[in-house]
Amino acid sequence: MSSNLNDTLVEKTVTYTLEMNGKFYLIENVPARINPETEEQFFSPSTVERLQQIIYDQQEPIRIVETPVYNFAA
């Protein structure tokens, strides 16, 4: 008996992260469907469109987060 992947996905909100042109972007409260076994995230086409709009339009962020950076080959 095979199970449908959509039956196992759980609706949640996540923090989406993106690195672009040497800058990191965090977008909170993004609706996603999550595979509970693998934690893989799936986004609807309209959500992906909105994510791109937020980043490319350089909208005013709600806050700025300072992030430490480490070198793995230290």
Domain boundaries of the chain, sorted by first residue = 5-56
For 20-60, what is each residue's pLDDT tens digit?
888 889 999 999 999 999 999 999 999 999 999 998 898 88
**Beta strands of the chain (E only): which ranges?**
10-20, 23-34, 41-42
| Residue 74 confidence (pLDDT) | 61
User: What is 5-56's CATH number, 3.10.20, 3.40.50, 3.40.190, 1.10.357?
Assistant: 3.10.20
Q: Given a cut of 70, is residue 9 above it in pLDDT?
A: yes
| Residue 1 confidence (pLDDT) | 42
| Residue 5 confidence (pLDDT) | 58
Q: Given a cut of 90, is residue 13 above it in pLDDT?
A: yes
| Residue 40 confidence (pLDDT) | 95
